Structure 1
Amino acid sequence: MNFKAVLLGCTLLAPGMALAEDVTVQVWGSTWKSLLEPLSQRFEAETGIKVEVVTQSSSGEGLVKLQAERANPTVDVWFTTNSVAAKASKDQELFTKIPAAEVPNTAGLLPGAFNEDWVAMYYYPMGIIYDVDAVPAEPTSWEDLWKPEYAGSIIAPSMSIYQGSLLLVANELNGGAIDNVDPGFEALEKLNPNVSLYYTSDSQARQSVAQGEGSILIGQSAHFRRLKDEGLNVKMIAPKPAPMYFDVMMMVNGDNQANAAKFINFVVSEQEQQILADAEYMTPVHAGVKVPASLADIMPAEGAGIVFDDQKIAEEIADWNARFESIATR
């Protein structure tokens, strides 16, 4: 055997191609820096498996990338939201089922935090985050956001991020149903003058608040924590109906599934979930980990949280997005 040739071949592996003791994850850049990069260092120290990262600005963009390379996948574990996962999991050529026997730590997770298609890393509510020093008046409910004093003050999610959460909240407030979102769109028409920006990524949302483009952010708990870390005097409320989401891990149907399963199992271990809780960015999904007061204080009151129909959203989101764009671009 020509060992020089073998060595040369190894050094010429295509970028992004994982070695036998690597695992490649695709995740949002902000999530990687704050949560997964230090976790990955601990994972490598314990297992010897190095974590490579590919970043995505949104789940939708990430899915398009994975679909484009389905014949020769370079990603092993994909991070997305549970709502996007509901649609993506139907593609069993691209994704594979979670091997329960290889991910035993799922036994300690909260009900609903995993299924055969994905495993959650954490969960969080969508709510109202506001700059106490800049907001005209402190909001106490979703309905407040339609008040004229908030004209040009709101930074809101576009339809492409958080899967229509703003539409569905507006729809609930105005008597709509998942099969009839006309009341929600009518409400968004009325809200539009109060919106200064519709954001398409988490980093854009936070930067817009920090730069003073608005004093109210419709966002999630990690936005709140990072803005606090940047020194802003922000508060967060999660009034009824507060959309609840999981960020989840899916396994790509490639040749590195063993390492992918090891990584997922490590992420949901009680030890790592406790570290996640201590970081106070997201709410852990391990039943044995106590939620810190800083997170418990911004969670919805009992009965105020709502989980929307992921399958229905997946079916309708493209049409909703086209309809939303006609409002957002006025």
Structure 2
Amino acid sequence: MISRRTFLATTAAAAMAGTLKSHAGSFEGQTLRVQFWGGSDGLAIQKYVADPFMKATGAKVVVEEGVTSASIAKVTAQKSDPQIDVAFLDDVGVFALNRQGLLDKIDLEKVPNAKDVYPNFILDGGFGIGFWTYITTILNNTKSPAPTSWEDLWSPAYQGKVLVPSINDTQALLLTVMAAQLGGGSLENLAPAWPKLAALKPQVFSFIENRALDAQALQAGQATAAVDIPTYFKPYMADSSDIGVATDLKEGYFAITGAAVLVKGSRGNRDLAHAFINQALSPEAQAGFATDVWYGPTNQKTIVSESAAPYVVHTPEQLAKAIQVPRLDLVSKRPEIVQNWNKIFNS
């Protein structure tokens, strides 16, 4: 007899070995230069993509780390002599770099796992492909009624109980978009957001700046709701069942995609680069991402662990409700949002 956890781990390992078997030793001695995030995100990519890929193929993967904005800046600065073959970055990076003509289109025929990726994660006509997705939604104290709509944040039950994002975070921009939508507006028409946010002001417990303290407030019931990305609270939720994540809100939740791109003009073997991207799209790697960092899969065949399932968007029904805001348009609206946000909440 073996435990279910052991069985799943063994099955996943065997499947991952199968995914890479066709490349065994085929890239011996070759080097691929890759850029992706640091921290827990980078550790997960190293564990489930880079390390098994190097072991199976004999290739060397040289990693440079940086957030999406740094990756965009680096690829742009190196456009005359690209030093990065593959970059993993947020979806906004795909659009920003492709508008500058700095990406090559991914040959999906060379990426077998791409056939199982939900079509909406093939980005910008195939110049990027998503390998994980994470959401901005409402976290809640599970001893209180779970929210079913973003409108709940404005209800009397939440007065003085809501943890609101800092305006320095993208989550605040997305909350503004939702406020506009609830008032009949949109990203293109933010005017309804301002009175809606003004009405949210009495609901605010505090702004999210120290998630360790914010998690304590949420667990203690001092705050009963928080607008944020669930993975940021993960280190403080491991031993507590008092924080839940809303993955069934009436209006949906905002999704941001982590995507892979090929840098135009780089010197690395393109077959090697496509094989590396294929590993990131494998259901085994994506199951690992879900467990380790609470990022949802883009591959329809991914089996998410029971421990991660409540905190990630992973079913077809959930993914259908994911709101993907045009990120470049959102960035262009940032000055307007910041100005009005500060007038409302700092007055």
TM-score (norm 2): 0.71
For the residues of structure 2 that align with 1:257 and 1:328, how far apart are their CA atoms? Answer: 52
Deviates more, 1:252-261 or 1:308-317: 308-317
Relative to structure 1, the CA distance from residue 76 to residue 29 in structure 2 (aligned partners, 3 Å threshold; closer, same or farther) is farther
Residue 186 of structure 2: aligned partner: 177
**Contact conserved, 1:129 with 1:224, CA < 8 A, in 2?**
no
**Counterpart secondary structure, 1:283:** coil
> Aligned-pair RMSD on alpha carbons?
3.5
**Contact conserved, 1:96 with 1:252, CA < 8 A, in 2?**
yes
Residue 250 of structure 1: aligned partner: 261
After TM superposition, the runs of 4+ consecutive aligned structure 1 residues lying more than 6 A away are none
Residue 265 of structure 1: aligned partner: 278
Q: How many residues align?
A: 302
Residue 43 of structure 1: aligned partner: 53
Relative to structure 1, the CA distance from residue 139 to residue 101 in structure 2 (aligned partners, 3 Å threshold; closer, same or farther) is closer
1:218 aligns with 2:227: yes
Query: How far apart are residue 264 of structure 1 and its match?
Result: 0.8
More helix by share: 2
**Counterpart secondary structure, 1:272:** helix
For the residues of structure 1 that align with 2:64 and 2:298, how far apart are their CA atoms? Answer: 24
For the residues of structure 1 that align with 2:342 and 2:268, how far apart are their CA atoms? Answer: 40
Residue 245 of structure 2: aligned partner: 236
Residue 284 of structure 1: aligned partner: 297
Residue 323 of structure 2: aligned partner: 306
Residue 104 of structure 1: aligned partner: 112
Deviation track 1:194-240 (CA, whole Å, cap 9, x = no partner) reads 162255xxxx6x44534649653312343455443254631011313
1:126 aligns with 2:139: no
Determine which of 70, 76, 88 is the counterpart of 2:97.
88
TM-score (norm 1): 0.75
Query: How far apart are residue 311 of structure 1 and its match?
Result: 5.4
**Contact conserved, 1:26 with 1:75, CA < 8 A, in 2?**
no
Where does the alignment leave 5 or more consecutive residues of structure 1 unmatched?
A: 1-18
Residue 161 of structure 1: aligned partner: 170
Residue 209 of structure 1: aligned partner: 214
For the residues of structure 2 that align with 1:329 and 1:51, how far apart are their CA atoms? Answer: 47
For the residues of structure 1 that align with 2:107 and 2:30, how far apart are their CA atoms? Answer: 19
Query: How far apart are residue 90 of structure 1 and its match?
Result: 0.9
Residue 146 of structure 1: aligned partner: 154
Q: Which amino acid aligns with 2:65?
A: T
**Counterpart secondary structure, 1:164:** helix
Residue 15 of structure 1: aligned partner: none
1:25 aligns with 2:35: yes
Q: Which amino acid aligns with 1:233?
A: D
**Contact conserved, 2:85 with 2:273, CA < 8 A, in 1?**
yes
Query: How far apart are residue 327 of structure 1 and its match?
Result: 4.6
